[in-house]
Structures are given as structure tokens and as C-alpha cells.
Amino acid sequence: MSRRVTQQDIARMTGVSQATVSLVLNGRDDGDVRIAPETRERVLEAIRSTGYVADPIARRLAARHNRILGVFTYESVFPAGMGDFYHPFLVGIEECAESVGCDLLLFTSAPVVDGRRRIFHQDNRLRLADGCILLGQWLDPAELARLLEEGQPFVSVGRRDDAGGPVPYVGADYPGATAAQVRAAVELGHRRLVYVGEGDTGPESHADRWRGFVQAAGTDGIRLARPDLDAIIIDERTCVFVEEFADGVALAAHAAERGLRVPEDLSFVALGDPTRSAPTDLDFTGFRIPRREMGWQAVEVLSAILEGRPSQQRILPCEPVAGSTLAVARA
């Protein structure tokens, strides 16, 4: 399916700015700036020839706001180790922002306090943007509560429930995806189910995974806070579920050093995409987080808030990955 034509496409085709295209679409000039008749006709002809249809959200935003959306990241998104994880989120955000005719402003001046960035500081520039999208595994509940109290439009990428009020967010169905993987392991005969990760002591994304594991595993499941293969009783009916992909890679490498084969002697399931670099030849069974779609829909939710509509909380399904690290348990 072909990509929808945007205002930026019309601007490139006609050699004018996107602002000029917007003015033509709205049938007006902008103060002292007047659009020449031949320029207006050139833009209108491009609109007719491409079949461009103005996005209603973009039109309403253009009439009432600066059309600038902020992006604040609690963790750095550009180093190679984390860049691959955050890149799909940013792609989705950028694509949807373009579709509604908005620019993006990445807030990078926030200082690091106690090892983490903070939104609110003496020279914060939140007001430069119409609203803000928040990215990060850990979001400060006090800062979320302040955003809510001050009525500043924002959307969290990821479920949040500890800000003293309803936080608008777009999250992933970690409980459902994790429970489905546990049920698949049980159906294959696995009876020793080991969860490696922070569980309910971690951020919401980790707590959600643990909740899905507990619901599906029941009393057959145990949790280890740290990736330690020596703490796991291993036989052919053991399946290890890892919160962090990199922990699975490290444990599988340790197993290989002990002469254990994956998945013949020990099965693994990775509960999501790598958040840090973890090269491996293994094709891990597990699920993928809908990161690009989460970024796109975060802009949709923020756009709706800026239009005056009620805030939303959306949960998107994860994509199962068959992989090759989960096998039938041998009796």
C-alpha cells in the first residue's frame, strides 16, 4: 500500500515551504505574508494531481497550536547500546508527527540528577512544545504527578499507574504475551519454570511481565532476581524466562560452557526485544514489542488531547516469535 501524501510532499513538489502549503489549504494568508496567485495555483494543482486529503487532526492543530510536539527521554537514546531499542519508537513518533503536520522538539538540556534525567529544572523548555511524549523504562512518578497537576499535555510510551491520577499512555500487553509463552512451554511438557528478572520490584514493564508469568505458571514458577545459571536446577523439563534479552544470551552462553545444549537440554524464552547490545547466534523464542506502533499511537493520543478530547490509555498486543530455543521437554 502506498504511503499517504503529506503536506511536506506537496511542499517539495512545488518548491515552497510547508507553512505555505498549510496557508493555501486553509484558504488564507498569514498576516503580512501574502501568497502570489501563481504560487497558490501551483500548490493547488499539486494537491489535485496527487489526490492529497488534509488530515482533520492536522488542520485543527494548525488552527490552535504551534504544531510542535516535544519528546523527552529519561534514558539517552543515541548511544549504540540503547539506540537500537529506542529507534523504532522514534520512527513511529516521527512518521505520525509528519502525518499530522507537526515538528518534533527533542528535549536534551535536562540535567541528570542521582543518575537520572529530570523534566523539571530551572531552565526547562517544556512550554516551547504544545505537548510532550515521554520515553524511558523509569519515569519519575513525582514528575508525572506534577505534569497532571499543571495540566501540561503529555503521553507516556509505556503503562504508568503511580502518578496519583490517570496517566495517558500507549503500552504493550506484557502480561498477555508472557502468559501465552508460559502456556506454550507447559503444553510442551515443561514443569520447572524459572523467571529471571526484577519482577514486581522493577518498572511497570517488568512488573507486567511478572504478573503474566505468575498468572500462567502458578505454583510451578519461581523467580531469580539475578541471572545465575548455578542457582537453577536444570533438567530437560526446565524452561528459563528472561526479562532482559541480554540475560538470556549470557545464560545460554554459560550453559554451552557447561556442555548443555539449547533447547535440547535447556529451553529459553525472551520476554521482549534487547534493550542493550547482546550478539548471539541463537534465534530466541519469545515476543516482540510493537515499538513503532506505540510511537505512532502516542502521537495520536497526544493530538487528541490537544484537540480537547479525553486522554486515553491504550494497550497494544505483542507479536509472538517462534524462534528455536523452546523445545518439547523430554520425560
Q: What is the CATH number of the domain that holds 220?
A: 3.40.50.2300
Q: What is the pLDDT of residue 283?
A: 96
User: Has residue 23 been placed in a domain?
Assistant: yes
The confidence score (pLDDT) of residue 1 equals 39
Does 255 lie in the same domain as 203? yes
- If asked whether residues 223 and 249 sit together in one domain, one would say yes
Rounded-to-integer distance, Cα 199 and Cα 196, Å = 8
pLDDT tens for 139-191 read 888 889 989 988 889 999 999 987 778 999 999 999 999 999 999 999 999 98
Q: Say what the pLDDT of residue 239 is.
A: 94
Given this model, what pLDDT does residue 54 score?
A: 63
Q: Are residue 143 and residue 104 in the same domain, yes or no?
A: yes
- Per-residue confidence (pLDDT) for residue 105, from 0 to 100: 92
Contact 8, 55 (CB under 8 A): no
Identify whether 325 is part of a domain.
no
Same domain, 218 and 251: yes
Which pLDDT belongs to residue 51?
75
Say how many CA atoms lie within 13 Å of 208 toward its Cβ: 19
Same domain, yes or no: 108 and 165 = yes
**pLDDT of 80 strictly over 60:** no
- 329 inside domain: no
pLDDT at 169: 97
**Do 89 and 228 fall within a single domain?**
no
Asked if 282 and 148 sit in the same domain, the reply is no
Select the more confidently predicted residue: 116 or 175.
Answer: 175
Q: Summarize the confidence of residues 249-275 as an average pLDDT.
A: 93
The answer to whether 20 touches 35, Cβ cutoff 8 Å, is: yes
Instruction: Please indicate, yes or no, whether residues 254 and 161 belong to a single structural domain of this protein.
Output: no
Instruction: Let me know whether 185 and 251 are in one domain.
Output: yes
In a domain, 327, yes or no: no
Q: Residue holding cell 494568508?
A: 29
pLDDT of residue 115: 66
Average pLDDT, integer, range 44-58: 73
Residue 279 lies in a domain: yes
DSSP H or E run through 239: strand 238-242
Is 270 a member of any domain?
yes
Q: Is residue 328 part of a domain?
A: no
Q: Estimate the crossing angle of helix 291-306 against helix 80-99, to 10 degrees.
A: 40
The number of folded domains in the chain is 3
Pair 209, 275: CB distance under 8 Å: no
Q: Is the pLDDT of residue 62 over 80?
A: no
CA 160/CA 162 separation, integer angstroms = 6
78 or 201, greater pLDDT: 201
Arithmetic mean of pLDDT, 246-266: 93
Tens-place pLDDT, residues 184-234: 999 999 989 999 999 888 889 999 999 999 999 987 788 887 888 888 888
**Quick check: 295 and 88 in contact, CB under 8 A?**
yes
Mean pLDDT of 230-247: 89
| 189 plus 238 within the same structural domain | yes
272 shares its domain with 210: yes
Nearest to 124 by CA among 157, 100, 154: 154
* pLDDT of 291 strictly over 50: yes
Query: What does 10-60 look like in DSSP terms, one character per residue?
Result: HHHHHTS-HHHHHHHHTT--BTTB---HHHHHHHHHHHHHHT----HHHHH
pLDDT of residue 27: 65
Structural domain boundaries, residue 135? 68-172+291-319
Peptide bond into 263 cis (omega under 30): yes
Evaluate if residue 64 carries a pLDDT over 50: yes
Of 167, 131, 124, whose CA–CA distance to 149 is shortest?
167
**Section 229-252 average pLDDT:** 90
Q: Is the pLDDT of residue 236 over 90?
A: no
**CA-based torsion, 161, 163, 166, 168: positive or negative:** negative
The reply to whether 236 and 278 lie within a common domain is yes
User: Does some domain include residue 61?
Assistant: no
Residue 92 has pLDDT above 60, yes or no: yes
Q: How far apart are CA 131 and CA 146, in angstroms?
A: 14
pLDDT over 90, % of the chain: 49
